[in-house]
Amino acid sequence: MTDILLPPNRFPALRSRTTRALNAGAPLPVEAGSCHNAATLCGGNHGNCSSGEELFIRVLFAIEMSGKRRQIVQQGGGSKKGRLAARAELSAALRGQAGREEARRAWEKRAAASCGPVVVDSVPFQHCIIHSFIENSTFLDGLKEELLDLRFHEKSNDLYKFQQSEDLKSRKEPHISALRDVLFVDFRQWLSEVTGVKLETTVDISCAQYNYTDTLLCHDDELEGRRFAFILYLAPEWSEADGGTLDLYSTDDRTQPGSIVKSLVPSCNTLVFFEVSPVSFHQVSEVLSEDKCRLSVSGWFHGSSLARPPRCLDPAPIRNPHIPLDHEILYEWINPAYLSFEYQSQIQEEFEDSSEISLKEFLKEEKFGAVCAALETHHIDWELLGPPNRRCYKKAKGEIPEVLSACMDLLRSEAFFLFLSNLTGLKLHFLAPDNEDSDEGEGSSGDNTKSLMRRHGAGPADPSAQSEGGKVPTCTGELRHWKHGNYTMIHDQDPEWQELALDLLLFCGCEEWEPEYGGFTSYIAKEEDEELLTVYPENNCLALVYRDRETMRFVKHINHRSLQRDANRPNRSGFWDFAFAYYE
């Protein structure tokens, strides 16, 4: 190799770097005797350049440009070469015809089988687990970096709480684009051949982050056009104790979900897919790890939907008229302030204006204390209500302690029906005054009291939902226990939303209950995300809400944070409420 002699006093800081590069065999892609590529360094005046300097400048320029080109390629941007560097490929086992045929036979027979990295099973419904989905696992590092740089949006409603990215179908990042190509082309073809289902080119795809207390509750994924759901896990090392498992549910003869029969722990570079069907009920269990993020890419392949049987309807709750107990029970139980006619008139004005009100310190202190003591110390037979795609909480059944039974009687009593009429202006008792000055002229005694939806400008309620003359006011009610893991969800077939109703909630055992625990009741407009009202659990607080059939409600999932509060209360977990609905 020819030694290069550099002028000793010019460009000293770069001298050793250039010499090292030349001695390492760096090419010199410049012509001898020319320094035009270094005009900015010699000022364009070749007289200022010695031959050594000139060659040095040319070498330096070549090295700098070569370094920039390498940097662009390594970063994966700017050129086609950069994008080609982020290349994804299905694992060799998936590309082989023999393994594909073995998986196809297992899927066709609905048999459990392990075909190399592919595990096929039909219990509780057909699904498949593919380990080492992407051939080059180092590709996943770049993919995770690009995904975590995306903008994520908090998603929270009755069904879920997690963070979701925008649609990945239009993203230009090299690793995301490469993964998309693999899923939309190579894997879609593999999936179609293995399952025997003709798939459309439409594929939904997004990225999700599940952090501490995030969850996706029980559902079946059914939506027009969805044929297969898939999840590619990109989580760190994970265990069942971290939560975030994909839980699969059994179903009964009415296609209603029952119990969890299989839980799949997230594993990086593992893809799970299952057929979307009337029985494909599943959930993402609550993430319990406080320092790990359950990262995944998920979506749906589209094709002809499977036939669905008629949806199972809940039985209508039994409604009962008031029981014959007079006003003495009110004086026995209720804070005397609320028995003042003047105060009741003030409350009615507020209620007619807002369709809801909360009455604090509602029960007398000694009565409320006796109720809480019975709930904490007496044996109560609690029944867990389901199915889990609609609700999960406990209701008291059978015989209950005397003081709790007396409180239930208070809320069912004739005197309490009349008391509620005075507070709300609703016709819940034949002695309640008629609102003859109503400017709506719809014939209902409760016309001055508008439902929650109408107060928020959603238009008049359906006239068929108005009470008719001669109807006997009725109510339904239950004593409920709420704790970690409990919730209710919205569903269109809920029979309680067929007419106007006054909801009542009386809370017990809510000291130091924080909104971040969940357990609050949200009222929303039907088929919209708009939240109309949130009722938070508050000790000895009576909440009244007037709703119509365009208003839906749910109790938010109670998360793992609530256990921090319960740890200091050995006799108590969660809280309780008396939940009633009254109908004119």
Between 549 and 584, residue with greater pLDDT: 584
Q: For residues 142 and 126, give the distance between their C-alpha atoms in angstroms, rounded to a whole number.
A: 32
Percent above pLDDT 70 for the chain:
79
pLDDT surpassing 80 at residue 468: no
Q: For residues 444 and 428, give the distance between their C-alpha atoms in angstroms, rounded to a whole number.
A: 11
For residue range 429-462, what is the model confidence (pLDDT) as tens digits? 988 877 544 444 333 444 445 555 445 544 433 3
pLDDT-wise least confident of 442-451, 546-555, 570-579: 442-451
Using 50, 70 and 90 to split pLDDT, how confident is the model at 469? low
For residue range 191-202, what is the model confidence (pLDDT) as tens digits? 999 999 999 999
Strand spans (E) along 61-167: 113-115, 118-121, 127-130, 152-156, 160-165
pLDDT surpassing 90 at residue 43: no
Residue-level pLDDT at 234: 98
Between 432 and 501, residue with greater pLDDT: 501
Using 50, 70 and 90 to split pLDDT, how confident is the model at 224? confident
DSSP, collapsed to helix, strand or coil, labels residue 474 as strand
Residue-level pLDDT at 452: 58
Rounded average pLDDT over 111-135: 96
Percent above pLDDT 90 for the chain:
70
Pick from 158, 582, 159, 576: which is nearest to 394 by CA?
A: 576
For residue range 383-405, what is the model confidence (pLDDT) as tens digits? 999 999 999 999 999 999 999 99
pLDDT-wise least confident of 176-180, 215-219, 338-342, 441-445: 441-445
For residue range 147-171, what is the model confidence (pLDDT) as tens digits? 999 999 999 999 999 999 999 999 9
Token digits for 480? 């409920």
Judge whether 220 and 297 are in contact, CB under 8 Å.
no
Q: For residues 549 and 465, give the distance between their C-alpha atoms in angstroms, rounded to a whole number.
A: 7
Pick from 88, 66, 70: which is nearest to 79 by CA?
A: 70
Residue-level pLDDT at 492: 75
pLDDT-wise least confident of 60-74, 254-268, 569-583: 60-74
271-275/391-396 β-pairing: unpaired
Q: For residues 180 and 171, give the distance between their C-alpha atoms in angstroms, rounded to a whole number.
A: 9
Using 50, 70 and 90 to split pLDDT, how confident is the model at 27? very low
Judge whether 263 and 245 are in contact, CB under 8 Å.
yes
pLDDT-wise least confident of 31-45, 76-90, 128-142, 350-364: 31-45
Token digits for 122? 């039909």
The model's pTM: 0.81
Query: What is the residue-wise DSSP string for 160-218?
Result: EEEEEEPPGGG---HHHHHHHHIIIIIIHHHHHHHHT--EEEEEEEEEEEE-TT-EEEE
Using 50, 70 and 90 to split pLDDT, how confident is the model at 20? very low
